Structure 1
Amino acid sequence: MSAQPAETASGFATEGFDPATATIVAVTYNRSHLLAGLLESIVRMDPKPGHVVVIDNASSDDTTQVVESFRDRLGAELVYRRLQENTGGSGGFSEGMRVAYELGSTWMWLMDDDVEVLPDGLARMGAWAPRFKSIQGRRYDYDGSEFYWQYRVSVPLGIPIPFAPAGFDDAGYRPMNSGCFEGMFIHRDVVRRIGLPDPRFFIYWDDTIYGWLASRVTRSAIVNEFVLKRTREIRQWDMGTRHLNASSNMYRYHIMRNRGIMAHYYRAHGAYRPVYFAIGTAATFVKEIIRLVFVERTVRGTSNLWRGLRDGARIRRDPSFRVMPPLEEAPS
């Protein structure tokens, strides 16, 4: 039986969408104070999801105690998984999506621990569920400003398109061919067809590739609905609508290293163009140099870029590399 039209306390209709079939998947690592803010925001949600899955990347702080303190307050079934080692955001979201899928979730809403969900966020996302199966909502930044996310990628170059329009017309959405695990709202049918996120990325480019894979099997859209707010201030270079955030040596390494993994996914799906992809890799390297100089005011850290570039080339040339398989074969 399909869900009957419902209306939340905020007056936002959820016709054709059953919130109980949705699962929020949150990944955390040693940031229990931020995770507590996210869980507190879920307490305030209307409607609430059926499940909340928290994947703990082997935190050494009081994350376990914080999670347990919310078990009777969330208003949704809480599933807590503490991993034996830090698998990065990529491994955390892969495991979280696996758990959500095995719970029978129809919709999976992925997010980091440094966001809060707006009270009617799930209703706003659910309103688009009848039209799309891979949806990205919008976010407020730490200071309350509108956060711009580059929702289109140039597939031959393998990089985001920086001049993709930031505004929305009366349609209320824009087609996208990328993804961001800070707010990705995805249907189990898509997950079944494209498989789980690849944990080998560890961090960076994992959601870009996953969103691209989703866009190959369904219509994907970013919708003009503010549903999340970032709760962690990040140093950035403000360029108006666009901006560059500060990074870290770990990110710098994986930004370049994971280009090798991306190449395998493009190759497996007939989209790999070596010359164009090399240009995109060079552009990524230059962008990270600009980030170092203008955001972090240093040139230290370039060795991590070179190291990542070297290791990425090795991965790209590895003939034994296999992309993640579908969870189930699509019916003929």
Structure 2
Amino acid sequence: MPASQPVTVVVTTFNRAEYLSRLLGSLDRLDPAPAAIVVVDNASTDTTDDVLAAASQSLSIPLTVHRLVTNAGGSGGFSAGVERALTEGAQWLWLMDDDVEALPGALNAFAPWMGEYRCLHGRRWDHTGEPFFWQHRFNAFLGVHFPVHGNVFAKSPVFRTNVGCFEGMLVHADAVRTVGLPDPRFFINGDDTTYGWLIAQREPVVYIDSFVLRKARPQKQIDLGVRHLNDSSNLARYCGMRNRGHLARYLKVNGRFNRFGFALGTALTTAKEVLRLAAVERTLTGLGSLWNGWRESRRILHDPEWAPMPALNPSRKDAE
């Protein structure tokens, strides 16, 4: 990788000290290595402090720890981490959760494409060593992202999409400045999809046919043929439904909101979550979380004080 394109890894962590330690170790073994690591500690209460203290002494990569006084969720953590990384002079930001591991040669896999694209994703193995499918496209009419059937890399090593995933997104600082920081109001669920879509309104967002990460944390899941469906939580269900309110507002700002299509998309989202409850988790006790989230989404949709995240100071290239 050219020395002129250093990569800063931004990790958000909350009470997963063991997984965080494994992730940091995998980053330290990369060759070429990242230029820096920024870890946002989302007010963890386990031994995360000890892991980060040890890492600050043992890592060969400069480590910045950004501690939050309260848990701001994945969305708030990545928003704070991206902002901190930009303050530290990051040029490229590689965003990832704390429960993955970087694969050898990951940055070399990205390198050939970094002169052509400014928002990239690599592929990911799941914890069993099987490919995890996360190649989707967002349908603005419905406000829903759908998996793309078949081998999306059959004819090209690059798959163009219009969504993002914070479990591995590599994004240029200038692209971040153009769309602004990730929106912390999402807390969890849907923030990265929306962020990728916002970038895609301005420039290409792609996946490359190279495995760069491995999921370290086991998850219950079923294979639906066109996608995997993981287990979830009542908090994620609530936020996922509530955040449709934020998504609708972003669609409106970009002139892409259709009231009837979005209502249909909300019905499809509800059906997917009911399927997740019944088929993956084998319970229906999360239905109340879906209902409460939907009610809150209605409030957000009609909030007169809601505003999108503002753009940051763009580079000269983006300002022209």
TM-score (norm: length of structure 2): 0.96
The equivalent residue for 2:283 is 298
Contact 1:24–1:49 (CA<8 Å) still a contact in 2?
Answer: yes
Contact 1:150–1:160 (CA<8 Å) still a contact in 2?
Answer: no
The equivalent residue for 2:197 is 212
- Shift of residue 237 of structure 1? 1.6
Distance 1:25 1:42 in 2: 11
**Residue-by-residue CA offset, 1:165-202 (whole Å, 9 max, x unaligned):** 44313420111100000000000110010000000000
Distance 1:23 1:75 in 2: 14
Distance 2:151 2:298 in 1: 34
Paired residue secondary structure (1:149): coil
Contact 2:127–2:215 (CA<8 Å) still a contact in 1?
Answer: yes
> Which stretch of structure 1 is more off in the superposition, 114-123 or 17-26?
17-26
> Which stretch of structure 1 is more off in the superposition, 217-226 or 108-117?
217-226
Distance 1:63 1:20 in 2: 30
The equivalent residue for 2:146 is 161
Paired residue secondary structure (1:111): strand
Contact 1:23–1:50 (CA<8 Å) still a contact in 2?
Answer: yes
Q: Is 1:313 paired with 2:301?
A: no
Paired residue secondary structure (1:186): strand
Q: Is 1:77 paired with 2:65?
A: no
Distance 1:142 1:82 in 2: 28
Distance 1:199 1:322 in 2: 13
Query: Taking structure 1 as reference, are residues 18 and 215 closer, same or farther at Cα in structure 2, changes over 3 Å only?
Result: farther
In structure 2, give the amino acid aligned to 1:175.
Answer: R
Distance 1:153 1:129 in 2: 23
Which structure 1 residue ranges, 4+ long, deviate > 3 Å from structure 2?
Answer: 163-167
In structure 2, give the amino acid aligned to 1:313.
Answer: R
Equivalent position to 1:55, from 25, 31, 40: 40
Q: Is 1:107 paired with 2:109?
A: no
Q: Is 1:195 paired with 2:183?
A: no
TM-score (norm: length of structure 1): 0.93
Contact 1:19–1:122 (CA<8 Å) still a contact in 2?
Answer: no
Equivalent position to 1:175, from 160, 178, 189: 160
Q: Is 1:35 paired with 2:33?
A: no
Q: Is 1:89 paired with 2:74?
A: yes
**Residue-by-residue CA offset, 1:96-123 (whole Å, 9 max, x unaligned):** 1001111111100000000000121112
Distance 1:63 1:39 in 2: 12
The equivalent residue for 2:116 is 131
In structure 2, give the amino acid aligned to 1:187.
Answer: H
Distance 1:326 1:254 in 2: 24
Contact 2:181–2:309 (CA<8 Å) still a contact in 1?
Answer: yes
Distance 1:133 1:146 in 2: 24
- Shift of residue 72 of structure 1? 3.3
Aligned length, in residue pairs: 317
Paired residue secondary structure (2:127): coil
Q: Is 1:221 paired with 2:206?
A: yes
- Shift of residue 19 of structure 1? 7.2
In structure 2, give the amino acid aligned to 1:316.
Answer: L
Aligned pairs (5 A) from 1:259-274: 259-274=244-259
